[in-house]
Amino acid sequence: MKFSKLSQLFLVSSIGLLVATIFSACSLNTVDFVYVASSAGSGTSGDGQIDIFATDGVSGALRTAAAPISSGGVNPVAMAVDAAYSNLYVANAGSNSIVHFDIGVNSGLTLEKDTAAPSTTPVAIAVNTADTYLYVLSGTTSARLTVYPLASGVIGTPLVNATTSNSYWPIVVPGHTGDVMIPTGVTVLANSSAVYVTAWDQSAYNPGCTPYPACITSTANPGWVFGFTVGANGALTPVAGSPFEAGVQASAIASDPTNRFVYVTDFASNGLIAYTIQDGSTLAFLHNGPFNTGKEPSAIVIDPRGRFIYVTNYLDSTVSAYAIDLPTGTPTTVVNTTGSLSNATLAQPVAVVVDPALGSFVYTANNFDSSVSGFHLNTTSGALSPTQSTPYPTGAKPTALVAIPHGNHATQVVGSTTP
């Protein structure tokens, strides 16, 4: 069949319009990008992988936005993004490094030259909302917190602890300085004024050691939260009363966007511990807690409006949802419309995030099944329901995930009630 030049021109124009329409629709539907770190490499020399997904604003479904890239090191275990959503930081435990990526307009990542090498294996990282400091929690037998100044996203030389002259702040229980401390999580208040770290004392709690119980060598409380205030120059000062008891095996920590509450998961006791923040930094238990979770809670996130808490349960392969009573901070279990308390993921969820653009979707990284599970968040009740086509395959054994808003979509703020 032959076409006249006019017909050919019309056909080319129509195809071009169709392609433009498709791309415009895709752009409009993409409200977030989700980055997932996984141990895709083999052995001790293979780099980890970062998968890049786009979030559909209607269904919450994830689709590949760009080809996977190297995590910049071996065995990535944690990621953090700055408040400007311009810089991504990845902690690689296998290569003992913190690497910096520049975030492009359409989710693309560019590995920058600046890196950090903490003195011990990194476990968790966080960036303050002023985008001036990167906090690195590290250690496998001795926990420590290192503070790196940031200048336009670039990682600087770690701050010096004036008390010890070391380039870190030790995480030790007073009176039990020889105990083996296992660090697990770090969070920074939204006003950047205080930092909190979770850790547990393996010398006081170690059910796998032999001969048991003779191998328990410490009488200290096992679980702890360590608090620090942040000085004008970034130096840390222990909060009055710190460290604060945190159950048996404190596994994750989150603070709310109003700087009033801190929440900690207890992996061993299947509990959620809640604290109010007094005098700007001191923690006080909510006396009606702890609150029940699923089995072996492993990660925690608070939605950007400060209204709901989501906890992943490692052994149950579920997500627990809670509504926060805003006057008191008390978390109340959210019941789904089906009457169920559980929201099933695939096996062994180890990380969780709420999308920042709409605050309407929750995603978990499922370590055993190498996948991400997606949920739609009811912004009125906090209940969850599966997103379209969930779960989504990732690289091998994902360990961390973060999300950034796309384009002109504004992030949610405290007090907003609708997406």
Interval 110-162: pLDDT, tens: 999 999 999 999 999 999 999 999 999 999 989 999 999 999 999 999 999 99
Q: Please state, as a whole number, how many other Cβ atoms lie within 10 Å of the Cβ of residue 233.
A: 8
Task: Write out the H or E segment, with its range, that includes residue 374.
Answer: strand 371-377
* Beta carbons within 10 angstroms of residue 30's beta carbon: 22
Which string of DSSP letters, residue by residue, matches 325-347?
A: -TTT--EEEPPPTTS-S-EE-SS
Point out the least confidently predicted range of 7-11, 131-135, 403-407.
7-11
Residues 192-198 have a mean pLDDT of 98
| Other beta carbons within 10 Å of 26 | 13
Cα distance between residue 323 and residue 309, in whole Å: 6
Map tokens 């020889």 to a residue: 178
> What local confidence, expressed as pLDDT, does residue 338 receive?
85
CA angle 313, 77, 261 (to 5 degrees): 55
Confidence class for position 46, pLDDT limits 50, 70, 90: confident
Residue 8 pLDDT > 70, yes or no?
no
**23 in any annotated domain:** yes
The pLDDT score that the predictor gives to residue 230 is 98
Answer whether residue 410 is part of any domain.
no
Q: For residues 309 and 377, what is the distance between their CA atoms, to the nearest angstrom?
A: 11
Tokens of 283: 């923690």
Query: Residue 418 falls within a domain, yes or no?
Result: no
Asked if residue 163 belongs to a domain, the reply is yes
Pairing between β-strand 181-188 and β-strand 194-201 as defined by DSSP bridges: antiparallel
Is pLDDT above 70 for 386? Answer: yes
Amino acid at 324: I
Count the helices and strands in the chain (H runs, E runs).
1, 33
Q: Residue 396: is it exposed, middle or buried by C-beta count within 10 angstroms (0-12/13-18/19+)?
A: middle
Decide if 3 is inside a domain: no
Structural domain includes residue 181? yes
State the pLDDT at residue 413. 54
Residue 300 belongs to domain with CATH number = 2.130.10.10
Using CA atoms, how far apart are residues 268 and 367, in angstroms rounded to an integer? 19
Cβ pair 282, 241 in contact under 8 A: yes
Distance between CA 169 and CA 243 in Å, rounded? 13
Contact 187, 163 (CB under 8 A): no
Assign 181 a pLDDT band (cuts: 50, 70, 90): very high
What are the pLDDT digits (tens) for 244-272?
999 999 999 999 999 999 999 999 999 99
Do 206 and 216 form a contact (C-beta atoms < 8 A)? yes
Look at residue 1 and tell me if it is in a domain.
Answer: no
Q: Is the pTM of this model over 0.85?
A: yes
**Can you give the residue range of the structural domain that contains 275?**
10-405
Domain contains 4:
no
Convert the pLDDT of each residue in 64-91 to its tens digit.
999 999 999 999 999 999 999 999 999 9
**Taking CA 355 as the corner, what is the angle to CA 369 and CA 110, rounded to the nearest 5 degrees?**
80
pLDDT over threshold 60, residue 214: yes
Strand bridging mode 297-302 / 308-313: antiparallel
Both tokens of 21, joined, read: 């329409």
State the pLDDT confidence band at 41, using cuts at 50, 70 and 90.
low
pLDDT value for 411? 56
When divided into structural domains, the chain yields a total of 1
